[in-house]
Chain A
Amino acid sequence: MFKGLFTTLREWVRKPVTVSYPEQKRPVKARFKGRHVLRRYDNGLEKCIGCSLCAAACPADAIFVEAAENTDDERYSPGERYARVYEINMLRCIFCGFCEDACPTEAIQLGDVYELSFTDRSAAIYTKEMLIDPVPEGRQPTPQVTPPGVYTRSVPEMKDPQD
């Protein structure tokens, strides 16, 4: 009986291993694979060039991309092509991260958000507006008007990934 009581008392003084979610949240690990985010360059242009390689790589067929052509008067991303429609069906996504690997511009990244719950199926489809980073402070939102001949390259020079 004392043995049992001792266990109880010991647990009383121990720091709890649980947290009281959702008031309290744990930081996620560096390689955590949460909801996708679409990144922007520092100047506010979208990194996504609408190439659909993420959709091609996706084993769950969760990504849908429709591309259109950029002009200097109406520029969303560097180069000629941007994603006019970008949708991810979170009910289908298996968070494998293949899209991240396939992306030639590091535009799509699996972020930290893991709170994904929906009350109907259509709410599970995340559109480009929901996925994309906010425009950096002091920068124009896309589409931007850009000087001609500056943003001609779709795919930036890439360095090997660093951890």
Chain B
Amino acid sequence: MAKDVTLTIDGQTLTVSAGTLIVDAAKKAGIDIPVFCYHPKMEPVGMCRMCLVDIGRPVIDRVSGQPVLDENGNPKIQFAPKLDTACTTPVSEGMVVVTQSQKVADARREVVEFILTSHPLDCPVCDKGGECPLQNLTMGYGPGQSRFAFSEKMHLAKHVPLGELIYLDRERCIQCARCVRFQSEVAGDPVIGFNNRGRAIEIVTFSEPGFDSYFSGNTTDICPVGALTTADFRFGARPWELLSSASVCSHCAVGCNQTVNLRREAAQGGKLAIKRIMPRQNEAVNEIWLCDKGRFAYHYVESKERLTQPLVRKNGELTPATWEEAIQAAAAGIQEAGDSFVALAGGRLPNEDLFTLRKLADARGGKALLSTCMGGGDLVAQVGLTAGSNLAEMGKGSAILVIASDLHESAPIWYLRLKAAAKRGAALIVAGARPTRLERYASKVIRYQYGEELAVIQNFLDGGVEEFSQAENAVIFFGGEGMDMLGTSALAQACTALLVATNHIGRPNNGLVPVWIHANIQGAWDLGFHPSASLARNLAGAGAVYIAAADPAGDDPHLAAALDEAKFVIVQELFLTETARKADVVFPAQAHLEREGTFTSGERRVQRFYPAVFAPAGTRPDYAITAQVAGALGIELAGRAASLAFLRLAAEVPAYQGLTYAKLAQTSEQWPIVGRGDLYYGGTAYENKEGLGVQLEAACQKPGWHAPAAWTGRLPEHTFDLAQMNAQGAVWLVPVVRLYDRGTTLTPSSLLEGRLVRPFIALHPETAAQLGLAEGDLAGFETAGATLSAPVTLDETLPRGAGIVPRSCGLPLTFPRGVKLVRLTEEVKVG
């Protein structure tokens, strides 16, 4: 640990660790030093000069090395002839800092006046007006009057789109470079920068499409003026008019904390409308960042396509029915099915609903299945990331292995945090069959062939990678890319064995993290839902299938065919999905922003979300629907409130024992301090007052836990043999996660439309040539009696003999498959 230093700021003596900057030290002591360019999450640059303070250091006698004392016996302090920037100066022993003197006040006033020489002061129309650091600091420290005539100011373009998501107002920009630094230092996407110099300096984007970064929205939060605004919120509302509600992102397994900003809108008929989604600080999860998917993909909630009435199949047609009718019909269907009942849950269903659904399945003697493409959740419950972990604490001496996952696409905030860990000195080992973005920051890259994932882990087990086995702390992030259910289960098993063998379990910042592609898959595992390797058979043979928040028919044609065979299908959904079209009873459910509940993230942090907007009339939350159907069958379940369902859950599920909503809502002091009156310091991210969540204890932390003997033993070299498959003329076609997919929760956000991925089949040029395919050709393959096709793109970085397709982008492929790709002509496509 760094040694402590004692200094005095404005007469207040405080002790902070060496290396702390004066501005941070003052902040910790409750003394505000105004800043524009400084941000606690980024390296200081000292560009804006707003933080000038008077700094004095004790005079040291050169001979004795002791501080020189004045006549009163106090150390003699020598002040610098000029003011210094508090944001670039680290503290030192005996330092005296003065922030409240006429000299400092004069300097601040002049800096503000200088910055305002080119600022348009169009606060009435500016989106930042009301939460603007420049506005606040001008009021606090600036001159009351301007000496500049408006007509003499620089007049620049006010509507410069940096891509379709972020707009730049050149006039308002004060050249603090926070956005440029964020993109290069934090996000690692240096796609914006300064062009020109002097008064002509401007922010430009170098990428095509413009501002091509998954983290672009964060720059609008940290912009200290209204220069960067999001297309989504532009002129949407004034900040002081907004209400806020705490939520948790439902798009991936990271579980970013969010604040939903709302106001009543005439356009929505006077109802509450979501105006924007902002990050809510949780230093153990998302710090103060959000990815653009989490920030902008909420419009599905207000989609006109939402189901608002129960549907019951009558004479082969789905017809609107009353709730009572639909519940009776569903209950009758389940009654008839006897014990051949299957409950299938999707990964975005909250814990309360999962628990209620499982209780129904248990009571009917049925199966509780999970719709997912990855296995291993049971092992995560055993050796998952230990309670008290924080990726931000991982640095020198730690090792992080990422295998079979593209974190930049599937969990962007984990990508940011691992990138930061690598920068702090952690050994970041990225193993993948194809290059991914995270490899840029890796200390070691392992390239394997699809099917050989286990051999990579075996090499680790054999001690082939010392930085991992010798590391003080180690975490493994495993994904499912290129593997089927059995493959990922085997990989999870292998990773677990590795963590156990190297003793990287049971301590904070150690354990196994699954890169689930939905928000609450870990919750589903914890609550007794398991994926089935023969899901199609399970569905086809079921007397009644109860599907909640999953779309198996849309995901996979095999499952669609299986659902046709199922005798009775009940679906709880937001939209009329492919699965819902095949159902006998469809219940309109509520989105997570409309109700209360909890999600369990991939790090096994249980986090609570709160209702933000009113649900459309006619919809009910999933747990209530399930409980009502159960009620009609004579099974008593908690359906009146999510909190009651959670209480039962906590009483029954050992891992969740002792949890209450009140516990999940607890917070503690976090650093840096953001979201309070001093917006200038950390940006407009919200302070977390609604709960940091609780990280569950891994089973291995309990006394008396032993690793089962079955976990040891040599791993097989292959899960399958790619060369052999290629020899038979087939290509291993791998669905990969793309952030902007075409899922039901993304497509209603018209803002992102241009960035949604179109279906493609990417192949190595050599593989394509062997198959007689060229760039742009339409390639097709047979599945479940239908031909699926997509244009071919060539990518030299891909492994030979395999191809990738984007997941949930129009090609219904859930698991990788060996397929025979053929070139389709236009006629076939039309036919």
Q: Does A157 lie at the interface of the complex (its beta carbon under 8 Å from any beta carbon of B)? A: yes
Q: Does A104 lie at the interface of the complex (its beta carbon under 8 Å from any beta carbon of B)? A: yes
Cβ contacts A86-116/B at 8 Å (1 or 0 each): 0100000000000000001100000000000
Interface residues in A, total, Cβ within 8 A: 24
Interface residues in B, total, Cβ within 8 A: 20
Report A-chain residues with C-beta under 8 Å of the C-beta of B122: 79, 153-155
Q: Does A56 lie at the interface of the complex (its beta carbon under 8 Å from any beta carbon of B)? A: yes
**With A152-B158, A155-B125 known to touch, is A85 a contact of B234 (CB < 8 Å)?**
no
Q: Does B155 lie at the interface of the complex (its beta carbon under 8 Å from any beta carbon of A)? A: yes
Report B-chain residues with C-beta under 8 Å of the C-beta of A154: 122, 124-125
Q: Does B240 lie at the interface of the complex (its beta carbon under 8 Å from any beta carbon of A)? A: yes
Q: Does A37 lie at the interface of the complex (its beta carbon under 8 Å from any beta carbon of B)? A: no
**With A56-B240, A79-B125, A80-B125 known to touch, is A152 a contact of B235 (CB < 8 Å)?**
no
| B125 near A85: Cβ-Cβ < 8 Å | no
| B241 near A85: Cβ-Cβ < 8 Å | no
| A52 near B266: Cβ-Cβ < 8 Å | no
Report B-chain residues with C-beta under 8 Å of the C-beta of A50: 125, 235
A residues 109-141 near B (Cβ < 8 Å) are: none
**With A68-B235, A152-B155, A152-B158 known to touch, is A51 a contact of B125 (CB < 8 Å)?**
yes
Q: How far is the CB of B273 from chain A (nearest CB, A)?
A: 10
Q: Does B595 lie at the interface of the complex (its beta carbon under 8 Å from any beta carbon of A)? A: no
| B238 near A52: Cβ-Cβ < 8 Å | yes
Report B-chain residues with C-beta under 8 Å of the C-beta of A157: 150-151
A residues 37-78 near B (Cβ < 8 Å) are: 49-53, 55-56, 64, 66-69
CA distance A56 to B124 in the complex (A): 11
Q: Does B636 lie at the interface of the complex (its beta carbon under 8 Å from any beta carbon of A)? A: no
| A66 near B240: Cβ-Cβ < 8 Å | no
| B266 near A87: Cβ-Cβ < 8 Å | yes
| B235 near A53: Cβ-Cβ < 8 Å | no
Q: How far is the CB of B49 from chain A (nearest CB, A)?
A: 28
CA distance A20 to B91 in the complex (A): 81
CA distance A109 to B514 in the complex (A): 61
Cβ contacts B134-165/A at 8 Å (1 or 0 each): 00000000000000001100010011000000
B residues 233-287 near A (Cβ < 8 Å) are: 234-238, 240-241, 265-267
Majority secondary structure of chain A interface residues (helix, strand, loop or mixed): loop
CA distance A87 to B67 in the complex (A): 69
Q: Does A36 lie at the interface of the complex (its beta carbon under 8 Å from any beta carbon of B)? A: no
Majority secondary structure of chain B interface residues (helix, strand, loop or mixed): loop
Report A-chain residues with C-beta under 8 Å of the C-beta of B155: 152
Q: How far is the CB of A128 from chain B (nearest CB, A)?
A: 10
Total A-B contacts with CB atoms under 8 angstroms apart: 53
In the complex, residue of chain B having the shortest beta-carbon distance to the beta carbon of A86: B266
**With A49-B125, A80-B125 known to touch, is A67 a contact of B158 (CB < 8 Å)?**
no
Report A-chain residues with C-beta under 8 Å of the C-beta of B124: 49, 51, 53, 104-105, 154-155
| B125 near A64: Cβ-Cβ < 8 Å | no
Residue from the list B121, B151, B158, B241 in contact with A80, Cβ < 8 A: B158
CA distance A152 to B156 in the complex (A): 10
CA distance A50 to B150 in the complex (A): 22
CA distance A89 to B652 in the complex (A): 53
| B125 near A66: Cβ-Cβ < 8 Å | no
Residue among A52, A53, A85 with the most chain B CB within 10 A? A52
CA distance A39 to B337 in the complex (A): 70
Residue from the list A53, A66, A81, A153 in contact with B265, Cβ < 8 A: A66
Report B-chain residues with C-beta under 8 Å of the C-beta of A56: 238, 240-241
Residue from the list B235, B240, B266 in contact with A69, Cβ < 8 A: B235
Residue from the list A51, A68, A80, A153 in contact with B238, Cβ < 8 A: A51
Report A-chain residues with C-beta under 8 Å of the C-beta of B267: 66, 85
CA distance A155 to B121 in the complex (A): 9
CA distance A76 to B241 in the complex (A): 23
Q: How far is the CB of A8 from chain B (nearest CB, A)?
A: 59
Q: How far is the CB of A64 from chain B (nearest CB, A)?
A: 7
CA distance A49 to B122 in the complex (A): 11
Report A-chain residues with C-beta under 8 Å of the C-beta of B240: 56
Q: How far is the CB of A99 from chain B (nearest CB, A)?
A: 13
| B241 near A67: Cβ-Cβ < 8 Å | no
Report A-chain residues with C-beta under 8 Å of the C-beta of B129: 51
| A55 near B125: Cβ-Cβ < 8 Å | no
Q: How far is the CB of B552 from chain A (nearest CB, A)?
A: 41
CA distance A81 to B167 in the complex (A): 14
CA distance A53 to B126 in the complex (A): 12
Residue among B122, B237, B241, B267 with the most chain A CB within 10 A? B122
Q: How far is the CB of B148 from chain A (nearest CB, A)?
A: 13
CA distance A79 to B155 in the complex (A): 13
CA distance A104 to B125 in the complex (A): 10
| A85 near B235: Cβ-Cβ < 8 Å | no
Report A-chain residues with C-beta under 8 Å of the C-beta of B234: 69
| B235 near A80: Cβ-Cβ < 8 Å | yes
CA distance A153 to B151 in the complex (A): 11
CA distance A66 to B235 in the complex (A): 9
CA distance A108 to B710 in the complex (A): 78
In the complex, residue of chain B having the shortest beta-carbon distance to the beta carbon of A154: B125
Report B-chain residues with C-beta under 8 Å of the C-beta of A49: 124-125
CA distance A49 to B123 in the complex (A): 11
Q: How far is the CB of B528 from chain A (nearest CB, A)?
A: 47
CA distance A56 to B130 in the complex (A): 11
Q: How far is the CB of A57 from chain B (nearest CB, A)?
A: 11
Report A-chain residues with C-beta under 8 Å of the C-beta of B150: 157
Q: How far is the CB of A52 from chain B (nearest CB, A)?
A: 5
Q: How far is the CB of B122 from chain A (nearest CB, A)?
A: 6
| B241 near A52: Cβ-Cβ < 8 Å | yes
CA distance A157 to B151 in the complex (A): 9
CA distance A44 to B241 in the complex (A): 30
Q: How far is the CB of A137 from chain B (nearest CB, A)?
A: 29
Report A-chain residues with C-beta under 8 Å of the C-beta of B158: 80, 152
Report B-chain residues with C-beta under 8 Å of the C-beta of A55: 238, 241
Q: How far is the CB of A54 from chain B (nearest CB, A)?
A: 10
CA distance A36 to B771 in the complex (A): 74
In the complex, besides A66-B266, A155-B121, A155-B124, 17 extra interface pairs with C-beta distance below 8 angstroms are A51-B124, A53-B124, A55-B241, A64-B266, A66-B267, A67-B237, A68-B235, A69-B235, A79-B125, A80-B159, A81-B235, A85-B267, A105-B124, A152-B158, A154-B124, A154-B125, A155-B125
- Pick 5 A–B contacts, CB within 8 A, sort by A: A79-B125, A81-B235, A104-B124, A153-B122, A157-B150
Could you list which residues of chain A lie within 8 angstroms of chain B, going by C-beta atoms?
49-53, 55-56, 64, 66-69, 79-81, 85, 87, 104-105, 152-155, 157
Instruction: Give me the 5 closest cross-chain CB pairs, A-B, nearest first.
Output: A51-B124, A81-B125, A154-B125, A85-B266, A67-B235
